[in-house]
Amino acid sequence: MIDGLVQLFIWQGLGELVSKLLLPNIPGPVLGLLFLLAFLLIKGEVSQPLAMVADSFRQHLGLLFVPASVGVILFLPDLKTHAFAVGVALLVSVVLTIAVTALVLKSFAKAQQDE
């Protein structure tokens, strides 16, 4: 399990480094996740230690949303000021998420039928 955590920290650290040096507008953890995704796609499989850590995080996913929820409450006056823009952004992101999910599921179903 420690190996999986170390892998995650390495990818996050790489993302932070690239964010600080080259892409300051993109958060380091987001870049780290993209680097991890690219690595896993190239490798073609998830290592057992990384899978164990991912399963542990998935089981406690609700706890990871607590800091974000607190952050939203701290900026409640700003949210009230920009409520319409936030609402439109949320609506568009939900519609795009549903569309992308449908396309991914469709491609997986097609790939499974081809096998």
What is the residue-averaged pLDDT of the chain?
A: 89
Give the domain ranges of the chain.
Answer: 1-64, 66-115
Reported as a single tens digit per residue, the pLDDT across 83-112 is 999 999 999 999 999 999 999 999 999 888
Question: Buried b vs exposed e over 40-63: b needs ≥16 C-beta within 10 Å?
Answer: eeeeeeeeebbeebeeeeeeeeee
Q: Which residue has the higher pLDDT, 71 or 85?
A: 85
